[in-house]
Amino acid sequence: MKWSLMGLAALCVLPLSAAAQKSTADGIAEYRAMLQDGNPAELFEARGEGLWKQARGPKNVSLEKCDLGKGPGVVKGAFVELPRYFADTQRVQDLESRLLTCMETQQGFNAAEIAKTPFGAGEQKTLESLVAFISAESRDMTFNLPQSHSQEKLAYEVGKRLFYLRGGPYDFSCASCHGEDGKRVRLQDLPNLTKNPGAGNGFGAWPAYRVSSGELWSMQRRLNDCYRQQRFPFPGFASDATIALGVYMGVNGKGGVSTAPALKR
């Protein structure tokens, strides 16, 4: 037994030393680089740009006066500073909830109804395309979420609590998988979302086009799936809880570079 093991070990040494073994993460990175050239998120970006300029909704106006935090109509650079506090709604809002506000106040849509719509259907589809377009306008920019307002600081603390909150049938928290370096689920390396580069890479890659579902996922949809995997009920689209988590991850990712809309398996 010992001999055969030794033999096996000797056999394995040669190919390993001849070529440095490629890690799974390298393999996934290679796959993404291959597909990056034709990232279908671009189709959503193009559609989103059209939707941004198109007069729609009961009031038949475009979203071009929507204030994403950098003044009415300013899209470039808005994504890397969200979620942030908005004086008009007196809430900390992320990109999706801010878009809901604009669609309601400017275009006359019913925001609560859109929030209840299943992902990928009806106006949720519109939102996903808008999210792709807006995030793409900030591609390669550095995350710099404001933390000057007391509500923003509060949201960070709430997000931190939620991140470490354990519960559900498996007694999971977000931190169970995303609170340490070097964790994975099967072959997928998990980013440590409590610090950089994990938070910057992890938070900064959503929205993303998911090849497995053929859809563009917003951060809200990504969080919905995180909750599903933890066997928790989802706190709700554009809820304060999901926005607070966004603040926590976004602030931790300060200095990271946005690659959104990225490409995911």
Partner 1 sequence: MSDPMRIRAQVQGDKTTVRVLVSHEMESGQRRDGAGKIIPAWFIQSISAVYDGKTVMSAQWGPAVAKNPFVQFSFKGGKAGDKVSVSWVDNRGDKRTDEAVIS
Strand, helix or coil at 259? coil
Name which of 34 and 74 has its Cβ closer to partner 1.
34
CB of residue 37 vs partner 1: minimum separation in angstroms?
Answer: 6
Look at the alpha carbons of 132, 223, 103, 117 in this order and tell me if their dihedral is positive or negative: positive
Query: Would you say 149 is a known binding-site residue?
Result: no
What string marks each residue from 171 to 210 as x (binds partner 1 by CB under 8 A) or -?
----------------------------------------
> Is the separation of the CB atoms in 90 and 154 below 8 Å?
no
From CA 115, how far away is CA 117, in angstroms rounded?
Answer: 6
Query: Would you say 222 is a known binding-site residue?
Result: yes
From CA 33, how far away is CA 28, in angstroms rounded?
Answer: 9
Name which of 47 and 98 has its Cβ closer to partner 1.
47
Name which of 26 and 42 has its Cβ closer to partner 1.
42
From CA 55, how far away is CA 64, in angstroms rounded?
Answer: 9
Annotated catalytic, 12? Answer: no
Stretch that binds partner 1, among 32-40, 69-77, 82-90, 254-262 (CB under 8 A): 32-40
From CA 73, how far away is CA 75, in angstroms rounded?
Answer: 6
| Contact pick of 35, 61, 154, 190 for partner 1 (by CB under 8 A) | 35
40 sits near partner 1 (criterion: CB under 8 A): yes
Buried b (16+ CB within 10 A) or exposed e, 88-101: eeebbbbbbbbbbb
From CA 255, how far away is CA 207, in angstroms rounded?
Answer: 18
CB of residue 209 vs partner 1: minimum separation in angstroms?
Answer: 8
Name which of 42 and 181 has its Cβ closer to partner 1.
42
> Is the separation of the CB atoms in 163 and 173 below 8 Å?
yes
Stretch that binds partner 1, among 34-42, 58-66, 109-117, 240-248 (CB under 8 A): 34-42
| Contact pick of 28, 32, 43, 144 for partner 1 (by CB under 8 A) | 43
- Which one is catalytic: 46, 61, 165, 226? 226
| Contact pick of 46, 61, 141, 154 for partner 1 (by CB under 8 A) | 46
Rg (CA), the chain: 21
Look at the alpha carbons of 212, 225, 123, 53 in this order and tell me if their dihedral is positive or negative: negative
State the catalytic residues: 226
Annotated binding site for substrate: 222
Binding site for partner 1 (CB under 8 A): 35, 37-40, 42-43, 46-47, 211, 214
Annotated binding site: 66, 102, 174, 177-178, 222, 226
